[in-house]
Amino acid sequence: MSNTLIFDPKYKSKMKRLILITLSVSFLFGVSVHKATAQGQASVNANAVAEVIQALTATETSELNFGRFSPETAGGEVRLTPLGVKSSSGTVALSGGTHNPASFYITGQYDATVTITLPSGPAILTNSVSSKTMEVTNWESFPAAGLGVGVLVEGELTVNVGATLKVGNINDNPVGIYSGTYAITFSYN
């Protein structure tokens, strides 16, 4: 008799309804649980941290000095590298005397990185007697200029700067001392 009930079409229909009702109740129950979870809240006490570091300082320890030379008939250029190598082009004749790249002593936070920004344009050197001028261009440094290129090893860094001096002939740039200023920027990243 139990076998007959299983094959009974009315029994199958009742079973289908029972399964559908069970699934519907499960689905509704699951949705209501999900909604209750989505509407819940959680609070967390979070931390915020800040660190003040040592100020960055820069001191010029040696000025950019192209040394002695003669422009002769046509002039040309005098190049001084950040490592102190001096060379000339055109009719410029190099002479003895002191020459050296600029040198800057940078101090700040231990092992911080520093950005070196060289002048974007020329600096003008002026003869104190004749008011004649020369241009300083093609700035270069060691370490090379750029974003985060210098590291303050134990809070210190030395940066050397060289450039190229454009020299006219002896009439354009007569005998005398030429001087001027320029700006270099050192900053934390």
Lowest mean pLDDT among 2-6, 75-79, 115-119, 152-156: 2-6
Lowest mean pLDDT among 14-23, 79-88, 130-139, 179-188: 14-23
| Chain segment 20-69, per-residue pLDDT in tens | 555 555 555 554 444 545 568 999 999 999 999 999 999 999 999 999 99
71 contacts 92 by C-beta, under 8 angstroms: yes
Q: Is the dihedral of CA 96, 88, 86, 107 positive or negative?
A: positive
Give the closest residue to 181 by CA, choosing from 130, 115, 136: 136
**3-class SS letters over 134-183:** EEEEEEEEECCCEEEEEECECCEEEEEEEEEEEECCCCCCCCCCEECCCC
Query: Helix (H) and strand (E) counts for the chain?
Result: 2, 13
Which DSSP symbol is given to 97? S
The 10 Å CB-count burial string (b at 16+, else e) for 10-44 is eeeeeeeeeeeeeeeeeeeeeeeeeeeeeeeeeee
0.85 exceeded by pTM: no
| Chain segment 99-117, per-residue pLDDT in tens | 999 999 999 999 999 999 9
